Amino acid sequence: MKILVLNAGSSSQKSCLYEITDATLTQQPPQPLWEGKIDWTQDRSVAEIEVKTATGEVLQESIDGDSRTAHVAYMLDTLTHGATQVISELSAIDVVGHRVVHGGLDYRDSVIITEDVKKAIAHLSNLAPAHNPAALEGIEAIEQSLGNVKQVAVFDTSFHSTLPDAAAIYPGPYEWVEQGIRRYGFHGISHQYCANRAAQILNRDLTSLRLITCHLGNGCSLAAVNNSRSIDTTMGFTPLDGLMMGSRCGSIDPGILIYLLRQSDYSAESLDHVLNKASGLRGISGISSDFREIKAAMEQGNERAKLAYDIYVHRLRAGIGSMLASLGGLDALVFTAGVGEKSALIRQAACEAWEFLGLKIDVEKNQQQPIDVDIATDDSNVRVLVIHTQEDWAIAQQCWQLLHQ
């Protein structure tokens, strides 16, 4: 079965093509036959397209025009034409899977996309305005390019739909609950993949493990996983809650917002920009949302960069502590995503706080750019894993499973 995966971001569109058999499902994630990416970061009317294949062919082009659908269609055309061709025609694709950030309360599992599902994704765009509309554009681009091929929505919120009410419901008026204002959690596809991969690496049944998965990228969140289910997480009603992130503030006193609205010239829109785009590492350091640039500035003696790092580590440790409280113990601590996978400094700092639990990180292993390995010492009471998150493969797996139910 050939499965095309589309992973839409606010300013990018990633895609890859997998060929799956019964055998590949039980193996480590395979390399995609083809991978494509469109980047609109610099200019919405110019698409930077990059395509590569498993055989090493690479294509890089810039395309003008403001039609996102046309840009996606152009990228898909490279599947069947030119040096990057990997299939003879688009009809060879059996199913297309989409990452959809918000599924609300109604979508707790992956679903085949219908008109009703599209309407629901559109309706939930007010909760995920940067991502759900982009996912819809990808769905419509596939309809135009591939016709009636089956499409599947895989929701980032689904994995956290098992949160107990005590973890999910905010202590505001009960009317909020009736309005759907609750903790939804995000990065669920990544957290679920990493939990399953951790069980594979440790050669354990996932239902027997208590895990904390740390998705640390430009966006950051933690999940407490017990008996294969998410029972707590740091992101909330929106992805703004929880840990300090690249440009998002994470959890802050809501009284600050009331104060700013009363005492300053802030509007809802300007507050939204400050909290999502001008806070976190970027806001405190004044340098960047990229942790690599923060680290470089710290090494040059930049005090604001050091402060940003210190707050980041403090918030990360506090978040892990809250997940520990929900789990009542810990078998493995998992690091993933850009910072989690690549920053030995952050992993070391996060782990140092839990030495009293008998968690011991192997300093040498931690420095060796580990991927999908255990970096704890042999005598550590808690395993420490670095896992390369593969959301696209997880989406492909869910497409396969849905079609074979």
pLDDT digits (tens, 9 = 90+) for 40-86: 766 667 888 999 999 999 999 888 876 777 888 888 899 999 999 89
- Beta strand 332-336 with 210-216: parallel, antiparallel or unpaired? parallel
- Beta strand 95-100 with 150-155: parallel, antiparallel or unpaired? parallel
Q: Are residues 111 and 231 in the same domain?
A: no
Q: Are residues 216 and 365 in the same domain?
A: yes
pLDDT given at position 137: 87
The domain of 148 spans: 2-155
CA dihedral 187, 189, 191, 194 (to 10 degrees): -140
DSSP character at residue 324: H
Q: Is residue 11 domain-resident?
A: yes
Q: Are residues 233 and 359 in the same domain?
A: yes
Q: Are residues 124 and 217 in the same domain?
A: no
Q: Are residues 232 and 380 in the same domain?
A: yes
How many C-beta neighbours within 10 Å does residue 174 have?
9
Q: Is residue 399 domain-resident?
A: no
Q: Are residues 71 and 9 in the same domain?
A: yes
Q: What is the mean pLDDT of residues 9-28?
A: 79
> CA 392, CA 256: separation in Å to the nearest integer?
38
Q: Are residues 137 and 254 in the same domain?
A: no
Q: What is the mean pLDDT of residues 273-298?
A: 94
pLDDT in tens, 202-256: 999 999 999 999 999 999 999 999 999 999 999 999 889 999 999 999 999 999 9
Q: Are residues 332 and 258 in the same domain?
A: yes
Q: Are residues 219 and 84 in the same domain?
A: no
Query: Which of 126, 155, 184 is the last residue before a domain boundary?
Result: 155
Count up the domains in the chain and report the number: 2
Which of 74, 83, 71, 87 is closest to 17 using CA atoms?
Answer: 87
Q: Is residue 196 domain-resident?
A: no
Distance of CA 52 to the CA centre of its chain: 22
Q: Are residues 134 and 9 in the same domain?
A: yes
- Beta strand 34-39 with 12-19: parallel, antiparallel or unpaired? antiparallel
**String of b and e for 180-193 (b: at least 16 CB within 10 Å)?**
ebbbbbbbbbbbbb
Q: Is residue 192 domain-resident?
A: no
Query: Which of 135, 155, 175 is the last residue before a domain boundary?
Result: 155
With a pLDDT cut of 90, the percent of the chain lying above it is: 71
Q: Are residues 252 and 316 in the same domain?
A: yes
Q: Is residue 215 domain-resident?
A: yes
> CA 386, CA 401: separation in Å to the nearest integer?
26
Taking phi over 0 as left and psi of -120 to 50 as alpha, with beta for the rest, 338 belongs to alpha
**Whether residue 21 has pLDDT greater than 90:** no
Contact 98, 8 (CB under 8 A): yes
> CA 138, CA 143: separation in Å to the nearest integer?
9
Q: Is residue 16 domain-resident?
A: yes
DSSP character at residue 80: T
pLDDT in tens, 96-138: 999 999 998 888 889 999 999 999 999 988 888 878 888 998 8
**Whether residue 322 has pLDDT greater than 70:** yes
In three-state secondary structure terms, 374 is strand
Question: Which residues are annotated as catalytic?
Answer: 156
Q: Is residue 181 domain-resident?
A: no
With a pLDDT cut of 70, the percent of the chain lying above it is: 97
Q: Are residues 140 and 214 in the same domain?
A: no
> CA 96, CA 145: separation in Å to the nearest integer?
12
pLDDT, averaged across the chain: 92
DSSP string, 81-106: SGGG--SS-GGG--EEEEEES--TTT
pTM confidence score: 0.92
Q: Is residue 259 domain-resident?
A: yes
CATH number at residue 214: 3.30.420.40
